[in-house]
Amino acid sequence: MTRTRPGDGGRGLAPYWRSLLLGAAGLALAGGMVVATLAGGPVEDESPKRPPATEATQAAHGDPVPLAARERCDDGDGEGIDPAASLRPRREAGPAVEQIQRDERLVVGIDQTSYRWGYLHPEDGEIVGFDIDLVRAIATDLLGPDPTIVFRAVPTDQRVAALEAGDVDMVVRSMSITCERIQEVAFSTSYFETGQQLLVPHRSEIDGFDETLAGQRVCSARGSTASRLLEQEDRGAVLISAPNHLDCLVQVQLGLADALMTDSALAAGHIGQDPSMRLVGDELTAESYGVAMRQADEDLVRWVNAVLDEYRGTGPDSPWHQAFEDWLAGYLPDSAAVPPEPLYRD
Protein backbone atom coordinates (compact mmCIF):
# COMPACT_ATOMS: atom_id res chain seq x y z
CA MET A 1 0.00 0.00 0.00
CA THR A 2 1.28 3.46 -0.86
CA ARG A 3 1.57 5.46 2.32
CA THR A 4 0.22 8.97 2.42
CA ARG A 5 2.02 11.85 4.04
CA PRO A 6 2.29 11.52 7.83
CA GLY A 7 0.21 13.94 9.88
CA ASP A 8 1.43 17.48 10.18
CA GLY A 9 0.74 17.62 13.90
CA GLY A 10 -1.24 20.80 13.43
CA ARG A 11 1.75 22.91 12.37
CA GLY A 12 0.76 25.80 10.19
CA LEU A 13 -2.98 25.42 10.82
CA ALA A 14 -4.33 28.66 12.22
CA PRO A 15 -7.47 27.20 13.82
CA TYR A 16 -9.94 29.94 12.98
CA TRP A 17 -9.23 30.62 9.32
CA ARG A 18 -8.40 27.01 8.59
CA SER A 19 -11.85 25.96 9.80
CA LEU A 20 -13.45 28.57 7.59
CA LEU A 21 -11.40 27.56 4.57
CA LEU A 22 -12.16 23.87 5.04
CA GLY A 23 -15.83 24.61 5.53
CA ALA A 24 -15.91 26.58 2.29
CA ALA A 25 -14.00 24.03 0.20
CA GLY A 26 -16.27 22.65 -2.49
CA LEU A 27 -14.30 21.38 -5.46
CA ALA A 28 -10.62 20.50 -5.65
CA LEU A 29 -8.22 18.48 -7.74
CA ALA A 30 -5.76 16.65 -5.52
CA GLY A 31 -2.82 14.54 -6.59
CA GLY A 32 -4.40 13.55 -9.90
CA MET A 33 -7.54 12.32 -8.15
CA VAL A 34 -10.92 13.87 -8.83
CA VAL A 35 -12.63 15.45 -5.85
CA ALA A 36 -16.26 16.30 -6.54
CA THR A 37 -18.94 17.61 -4.21
CA LEU A 38 -22.49 16.29 -3.96
CA ALA A 39 -25.48 18.29 -2.78
CA GLY A 40 -23.72 21.61 -2.97
CA GLY A 41 -21.02 21.48 -0.34
CA PRO A 42 -18.20 19.75 1.46
CA VAL A 43 -18.45 16.99 3.94
CA GLU A 44 -18.76 15.12 7.34
CA ASP A 45 -19.81 12.46 10.21
CA GLU A 46 -18.88 10.67 13.34
CA SER A 47 -15.15 7.35 18.32
CA PRO A 48 -12.46 5.57 21.79
CA LYS A 49 -14.26 4.51 24.85
CA ARG A 50 -14.22 6.36 28.15
CA PRO A 51 -15.91 4.98 31.25
CA PRO A 52 -19.68 5.45 31.29
CA ALA A 53 -21.27 7.96 33.64
CA THR A 54 -21.03 6.97 37.27
CA GLU A 55 -23.81 7.19 39.84
CA ALA A 56 -22.01 10.14 41.38
CA THR A 57 -21.88 12.14 38.17
CA GLN A 58 -25.49 11.27 37.42
CA ALA A 59 -26.56 12.50 40.85
CA ALA A 60 -24.59 15.71 40.40
CA HIS A 61 -26.22 16.35 37.02
CA GLY A 62 -29.77 15.55 38.08
CA ASP A 63 -31.44 13.33 35.47
CA PRO A 64 -29.34 10.28 34.52
CA VAL A 65 -27.45 10.58 31.26
CA PRO A 66 -27.57 7.72 28.73
CA LEU A 67 -24.84 5.21 29.44
CA ALA A 68 -22.32 4.23 26.79
CA ALA A 69 -24.07 0.99 25.83
CA ARG A 70 -23.86 -0.49 22.36
CA GLU A 71 -27.11 -0.38 20.41
CA ARG A 72 -28.86 -3.70 19.77
CA CYS A 73 -31.16 -4.22 16.82
CA ASP A 74 -34.47 -6.10 17.04
CA ASP A 75 -34.13 -9.58 15.56
CA GLY A 76 -37.68 -10.66 16.29
CA ASP A 77 -36.88 -13.06 19.13
CA GLY A 78 -36.06 -10.53 21.82
CA GLU A 79 -32.35 -11.29 21.82
CA GLY A 80 -31.23 -8.38 19.68
CA ILE A 81 -28.30 -8.33 17.27
CA ASP A 82 -25.22 -6.16 17.11
CA PRO A 83 -25.53 -3.82 14.09
CA ALA A 84 -21.75 -4.05 13.54
CA ALA A 85 -21.97 -7.77 12.63
CA SER A 86 -21.20 -8.12 8.92
CA LEU A 87 -20.74 -10.77 6.21
CA ARG A 88 -17.78 -13.11 6.48
CA PRO A 89 -14.74 -12.04 4.41
CA ARG A 90 -14.17 -13.53 0.98
CA ARG A 91 -12.29 -12.26 -2.09
CA GLU A 92 -14.66 -13.55 -4.73
CA ALA A 93 -15.65 -11.18 -7.51
CA GLY A 94 -19.36 -10.81 -8.19
CA PRO A 95 -21.35 -8.11 -10.03
CA ALA A 96 -20.21 -5.18 -7.87
CA VAL A 97 -16.50 -6.03 -7.80
CA GLU A 98 -16.48 -6.92 -11.50
CA GLN A 99 -18.05 -3.55 -12.38
CA ILE A 100 -15.41 -1.65 -10.38
CA GLN A 101 -12.65 -3.64 -12.07
CA ARG A 102 -14.15 -3.06 -15.53
CA ASP A 103 -14.36 0.67 -14.81
CA GLU A 104 -10.76 0.55 -13.56
CA ARG A 105 -11.59 3.03 -10.83
CA LEU A 106 -13.14 3.16 -7.36
CA VAL A 107 -15.60 5.97 -6.60
CA VAL A 108 -15.73 6.74 -2.88
CA GLY A 109 -17.83 9.14 -0.84
CA ILE A 110 -15.60 10.85 1.72
CA ASP A 111 -15.35 13.84 4.01
CA GLN A 112 -12.88 16.55 3.07
CA THR A 113 -13.41 18.68 6.19
CA SER A 114 -12.65 16.31 9.11
CA TYR A 115 -9.19 17.12 10.40
CA ARG A 116 -7.06 13.96 10.77
CA TRP A 117 -9.81 11.79 9.20
CA GLY A 118 -10.42 13.18 5.72
CA TYR A 119 -9.33 16.72 4.88
CA LEU A 120 -7.50 18.91 2.38
CA HIS A 121 -3.90 19.31 3.44
CA PRO A 122 -3.12 23.04 3.70
CA GLU A 123 0.20 22.81 1.83
CA ASP A 124 -0.87 21.14 -1.39
CA GLY A 125 -4.61 20.49 -1.25
CA GLU A 126 -4.17 16.71 -1.26
CA ILE A 127 -6.91 14.73 0.49
CA VAL A 128 -5.38 12.91 3.45
CA GLY A 129 -6.36 11.34 6.76
CA PHE A 130 -7.15 8.09 8.57
CA ASP A 131 -10.20 7.34 6.43
CA ILE A 132 -8.30 8.18 3.25
CA ASP A 133 -5.52 5.69 4.07
CA LEU A 134 -8.20 3.01 4.37
CA VAL A 135 -9.69 4.01 1.01
CA ARG A 136 -6.29 3.65 -0.64
CA ALA A 137 -5.80 0.20 0.89
CA ILE A 138 -9.20 -1.01 -0.39
CA ALA A 139 -8.63 0.47 -3.86
CA THR A 140 -5.16 -1.08 -4.15
CA ASP A 141 -6.53 -4.49 -3.19
CA LEU A 142 -9.35 -4.25 -5.73
CA LEU A 143 -7.45 -2.64 -8.62
CA GLY A 144 -3.73 -3.15 -8.06
CA PRO A 145 -0.89 -0.65 -7.51
CA ASP A 146 -1.53 3.06 -8.12
CA PRO A 147 -5.29 2.66 -8.51
CA THR A 148 -7.54 5.38 -9.87
CA ILE A 149 -9.70 6.71 -7.03
CA VAL A 150 -12.48 9.25 -7.48
CA PHE A 151 -13.06 11.01 -4.17
CA ARG A 152 -16.51 12.58 -3.91
CA ALA A 153 -17.26 14.82 -0.95
CA VAL A 154 -20.67 13.89 0.46
CA PRO A 155 -22.49 15.82 3.21
CA THR A 156 -23.53 13.85 6.28
CA ASP A 157 -27.21 13.62 5.40
CA GLN A 158 -26.48 12.59 1.78
CA ARG A 159 -24.34 9.53 2.43
CA VAL A 160 -27.10 6.97 2.01
CA ALA A 161 -28.63 8.86 -0.93
CA ALA A 162 -25.26 8.91 -2.72
CA LEU A 163 -25.06 5.11 -2.48
CA GLU A 164 -28.66 4.53 -3.49
CA ALA A 165 -28.28 6.79 -6.52
CA GLY A 166 -25.13 4.96 -7.64
CA ASP A 167 -23.02 8.13 -7.34
CA VAL A 168 -20.41 6.25 -5.31
CA ASP A 169 -19.33 2.62 -4.88
CA MET A 170 -18.87 3.02 -1.14
CA VAL A 171 -18.77 5.63 1.61
CA VAL A 172 -15.74 5.87 3.91
CA ARG A 173 -16.24 8.89 6.13
CA SER A 174 -16.36 7.96 9.81
CA MET A 175 -19.93 6.68 9.43
CA SER A 176 -21.40 5.01 12.49
CA ILE A 177 -23.14 1.66 12.08
CA THR A 178 -26.68 1.91 13.50
CA CYS A 179 -29.84 -0.19 13.48
CA GLU A 180 -31.57 2.42 11.36
CA ARG A 181 -28.79 2.61 8.79
CA ILE A 182 -28.42 -1.15 8.30
CA GLN A 183 -31.99 -1.11 6.98
CA GLU A 184 -30.79 1.10 4.13
CA VAL A 185 -27.17 0.15 3.39
CA ALA A 186 -24.72 -2.67 4.07
CA PHE A 187 -21.69 -2.11 6.29
CA SER A 188 -18.30 -3.71 6.55
CA THR A 189 -17.02 -4.88 9.89
CA SER A 190 -15.95 -2.11 12.26
CA TYR A 191 -12.69 -0.28 11.62
CA PHE A 192 -12.91 2.18 14.55
CA GLU A 193 -14.93 2.60 17.74
CA THR A 194 -16.26 5.82 19.22
CA GLY A 195 -19.08 7.54 21.10
CA GLN A 196 -21.04 10.79 21.03
CA GLN A 197 -19.77 13.63 23.21
CA LEU A 198 -20.16 17.39 23.66
CA LEU A 199 -17.48 19.85 22.58
CA VAL A 200 -17.50 23.35 24.08
CA PRO A 201 -15.20 26.38 24.47
CA HIS A 202 -12.98 26.32 27.57
CA ARG A 203 -14.94 29.21 29.08
CA SER A 204 -18.26 27.35 28.78
CA GLU A 205 -20.32 26.47 31.84
CA ILE A 206 -21.75 23.39 30.13
CA ASP A 207 -20.71 20.33 32.15
CA GLY A 208 -22.13 17.52 30.02
CA PHE A 209 -25.35 16.10 28.65
CA ASP A 210 -27.42 17.37 31.58
CA GLU A 211 -29.38 20.37 32.85
CA THR A 212 -26.49 22.72 32.07
CA LEU A 213 -27.60 22.43 28.42
CA ALA A 214 -30.89 24.18 29.17
CA GLY A 215 -31.21 27.25 26.95
CA GLN A 216 -27.86 26.58 25.27
CA ARG A 217 -27.52 26.44 21.48
CA VAL A 218 -26.18 23.01 20.49
CA CYS A 219 -25.16 22.30 16.90
CA SER A 220 -24.99 18.93 15.15
CA ALA A 221 -24.63 17.75 11.57
CA ARG A 222 -27.90 16.97 9.81
CA GLY A 223 -28.49 13.24 9.53
CA SER A 224 -25.81 12.40 12.09
CA THR A 225 -26.08 10.15 15.13
CA ALA A 226 -25.60 13.27 17.26
CA SER A 227 -28.61 15.02 15.75
CA ARG A 228 -30.86 12.02 16.45
CA LEU A 229 -29.64 11.76 20.04
CA LEU A 230 -30.25 15.46 20.68
CA GLU A 231 -33.77 15.19 19.25
CA GLN A 232 -34.62 12.10 21.29
CA GLU A 233 -33.13 13.19 24.64
CA ASP A 234 -34.53 16.60 25.61
CA ARG A 235 -32.20 18.60 27.85
CA GLY A 236 -33.80 21.97 27.14
CA ALA A 237 -31.21 22.93 24.55
CA VAL A 238 -31.89 24.96 21.43
CA LEU A 239 -30.97 22.64 18.56
CA ILE A 240 -29.09 23.92 15.52
CA SER A 241 -28.31 21.81 12.46
CA ALA A 242 -25.62 22.26 9.81
CA PRO A 243 -24.51 20.26 6.76
CA ASN A 244 -21.32 19.03 8.46
CA HIS A 245 -19.83 18.91 11.95
CA LEU A 246 -17.05 21.29 10.91
CA ASP A 247 -19.74 23.85 10.09
CA CYS A 248 -20.84 23.45 13.71
CA LEU A 249 -17.32 24.21 14.93
CA VAL A 250 -17.38 27.42 12.89
CA GLN A 251 -20.79 28.26 14.38
CA VAL A 252 -19.28 27.99 17.86
CA GLN A 253 -16.21 30.03 16.83
CA LEU A 254 -18.48 32.77 15.50
CA GLY A 255 -20.58 32.83 18.68
CA LEU A 256 -23.67 31.49 16.89
CA ALA A 257 -23.72 28.23 18.90
CA ASP A 258 -22.61 27.37 22.43
CA ALA A 259 -21.63 23.72 21.87
CA LEU A 260 -21.49 21.03 19.25
CA MET A 261 -22.07 17.32 19.50
CA THR A 262 -20.23 14.76 17.44
CA ASP A 263 -18.29 11.66 18.28
CA SER A 264 -15.16 12.01 20.37
CA ALA A 265 -12.75 10.96 17.59
CA LEU A 266 -13.91 13.71 15.25
CA ALA A 267 -14.03 16.11 18.19
CA ALA A 268 -10.36 15.35 18.88
CA GLY A 269 -9.62 16.62 15.38
CA HIS A 270 -11.52 19.82 16.14
CA ILE A 271 -9.42 20.34 19.26
CA GLY A 272 -6.32 19.85 17.10
CA GLN A 273 -7.57 22.70 14.91
CA ASP A 274 -8.80 24.87 17.77
CA PRO A 275 -7.18 24.25 21.18
CA SER A 276 -9.69 26.64 22.80
CA MET A 277 -12.25 23.80 22.61
CA ARG A 278 -12.64 20.93 25.08
CA LEU A 279 -14.71 17.77 25.51
CA VAL A 280 -17.10 17.64 28.49
CA GLY A 281 -19.09 14.87 30.13
CA ASP A 282 -18.98 11.20 29.28
CA GLU A 283 -19.37 9.47 25.94
CA LEU A 284 -23.08 8.89 25.54
CA THR A 285 -22.99 5.99 23.10
CA ALA A 286 -20.76 3.12 22.01
CA GLU A 287 -20.53 3.07 18.22
CA SER A 288 -18.52 1.56 15.41
CA TYR A 289 -17.38 3.10 12.13
CA GLY A 290 -17.90 0.97 9.04
CA VAL A 291 -17.49 1.21 5.28
CA ALA A 292 -20.99 1.66 3.80
CA MET A 293 -22.02 -0.03 0.55
CA ARG A 294 -25.26 -0.92 -1.23
CA GLN A 295 -27.13 -3.86 0.29
CA ALA A 296 -27.15 -5.70 -3.02
CA ASP A 297 -23.34 -5.55 -3.30
CA GLU A 298 -22.63 -8.54 -1.05
CA ASP A 299 -19.51 -9.52 -2.99
CA LEU A 300 -18.03 -6.07 -2.40
CA VAL A 301 -18.92 -6.16 1.31
CA ARG A 302 -17.16 -9.51 1.71
CA TRP A 303 -14.15 -8.28 -0.28
CA VAL A 304 -13.82 -5.15 1.88
CA ASN A 305 -14.07 -7.28 5.02
CA ALA A 306 -11.18 -9.41 3.73
CA VAL A 307 -9.14 -6.24 3.23
CA LEU A 308 -10.03 -5.04 6.72
CA ASP A 309 -8.96 -8.33 8.30
CA GLU A 310 -5.46 -7.78 6.90
CA TYR A 311 -5.51 -4.01 7.42
CA ARG A 312 -6.17 -4.29 11.17
CA GLY A 313 -3.38 -6.83 11.51
CA THR A 314 -2.16 -8.19 14.81
CA GLY A 315 0.68 -5.89 15.83
CA PRO A 316 2.10 -2.36 15.79
CA ASP A 317 3.37 -2.71 12.21
CA SER A 318 -0.08 -3.32 10.73
CA PRO A 319 -1.46 -0.72 8.27
CA TRP A 320 -4.19 0.20 10.81
CA HIS A 321 -1.61 0.99 13.51
CA GLN A 322 0.55 2.91 11.04
CA ALA A 323 -2.44 5.02 10.03
CA PHE A 324 -3.28 5.63 13.70
CA GLU A 325 0.27 6.82 14.37
CA ASP A 326 0.24 9.06 11.29
CA TRP A 327 -3.08 10.74 11.92
CA LEU A 328 -4.56 10.16 15.38
CA ALA A 329 -1.74 9.57 17.89
CA GLY A 330 -1.52 12.56 20.19
CA TYR A 331 -5.13 13.52 19.52
CA LEU A 332 -6.78 10.48 21.09
CA PRO A 333 -5.98 8.51 24.26
CA ASP A 334 -3.72 5.45 24.07
CA SER A 335 -6.78 3.27 24.72
CA ALA A 336 -8.03 4.22 21.26
CA ALA A 337 -4.96 2.74 19.56
CA VAL A 338 -6.51 -0.72 19.35
CA PRO A 339 -8.42 -1.84 16.25
CA PRO A 340 -11.86 -3.36 16.94
CA GLU A 341 -12.44 -7.08 16.67
CA PRO A 342 -14.61 -7.97 13.65
CA LEU A 343 -18.06 -9.43 14.24
CA TYR A 344 -19.78 -11.73 11.71
CA ARG A 345 -23.38 -12.76 11.35
CA ASP A 346 -22.98 -15.80 9.09
Residue 75 lies in a domain: no
Contact 267, 249 (CB under 8 A): no
3-state SS assignment for residue 44: coil
Phi, psi of 289 (to 5 degrees): -85, 140
Q: Give tens-digit pLDDT for 78-104.
A: 677 889 999 999 999 999 999 999 999
> Are residues 200 and 156 both part of a single domain?
no
Instruction: Report pLDDT for 133.
Output: 98
Domain count, the chain: 2
- Of 249, 264, 280, the residue that ends a domain is 280
> Are residues 257 and 120 both part of a single domain?
no
Is pLDDT of 221 > 80? yes
- Of 241, 262, 280, the residue that ends a domain is 280
CATH number of the domain at 159, please: 3.40.190.10
| More reliable by pLDDT, 10 or 193 | 193
Q: Give tens-digit pLDDT for 115-156.
A: 999 999 988 889 999 999 999 999 999 999 999 999 999 988
CA 175 from centroid of its chain's CA atoms: 4
Residue 105 lies in a domain: yes
> Are residues 292 and 228 both part of a single domain?
no
Instruction: Report pLDDT for 245.
Output: 85
Please state, rounded to an integer, the average pLDDT across all residues of the chain: 81
Residue 33 lies in a domain: yes
Contact 274, 163 (CB under 8 A): no
Domain range for 248 is: 196-280
Instruction: Report pLDDT for 300.
Output: 98
> Are residues 242 and 330 both part of a single domain?
no
Residue 40 lies in a domain: yes
Instruction: Report pLDDT for 70.
Output: 63
Instruction: Report pLDDT for 272.
Output: 86
3-state SS assignment for residue 117: coil
Is pLDDT of 45 > 60? no
Instruction: Report pLDDT for 211.
Output: 92
- Of 237, 255, 280, the residue that ends a domain is 280
Percent over 90 (pLDDT), the chain: 55
Average pLDDT of the segment spanning 37-49: 32
Beta carbons within 8 Å of 316's beta carbon, 6+ residues apart: none
Residues, the chain, total?
346
> Are residues 35 and 110 both part of a single domain?
yes
